[in-house]
Amino acid sequence: MSSLPMSFEPLELDDARWREILTPDEYRVLRREATERSGSSPLNEEKRAGTYVCAGCNLALFSSEHKFESGTGWPSFYQPIHPDHIGTRKDFRLIWPRTEYHCARCGGHQGHVFDDGPQPTGKRWCNNGAALDFVPEGEDLPELRAS
C-alpha cells in the first residue's frame, strides 16, 4: 500500500464539476450534506482489511483496523486514519447540537462523531457509506483526485 499523504492542497471545484465526477448519491451526501438511509450501504458489512477513502477526492480517512459494528446501520470507526485528514464543526440542524465531520481536503460531508464509541477513544465516527470508497489491503491507494 502506498504511504498516506500528510500534507495536501485543498481541492476546490465548482458545483458543475462535482456533479460530473460524483454519482447522484455521492453528490447528495458529500456536497449537500444529506444522510443516506440506515443499512443502505454495502460498506457497513465490509469486513476485509483495507482503507476507506473519501469518495470525492480519494484522501485516506479511515482504516479497517478502527472499524466496529455500532448497530446503527452506518459504517462506524473509533478514530480517523490521521487527524489532519478530518475537519469538524458544530451542526445545529437538529434539536441538539452534533459534531459534523468532513474530508479536510475537499470539504465533503462524511457524517457525525458521537461520544458513545468503544475504547480506546470512546468516539463513534458514524459515516455515510456513499461518502467513502473502500480499497482492500494490498491494493495501492488511488491518487488524490485533481480537478
CA-closest candidate to residue 55, choices 111, 109, 133: 133
Q: Which of 54, 57, 106, 126 is catalytic?
A: 126
Is 126 considered catalytic here? yes
120: preceding bond cis by omega (within 30 degrees): yes
- In angstroms, the CA 91 to CA 97 distance is 6
Residue 113's DSSP bridge partners are: 99, 125
Q: Which segments of the chain are extended strands (E)? A: 50-54, 60-63, 67-68, 76-77, 86-91, 98-103, 109-114, 124-127, 132-136
Please identify every residue annotated as catalytic. Answer: 126
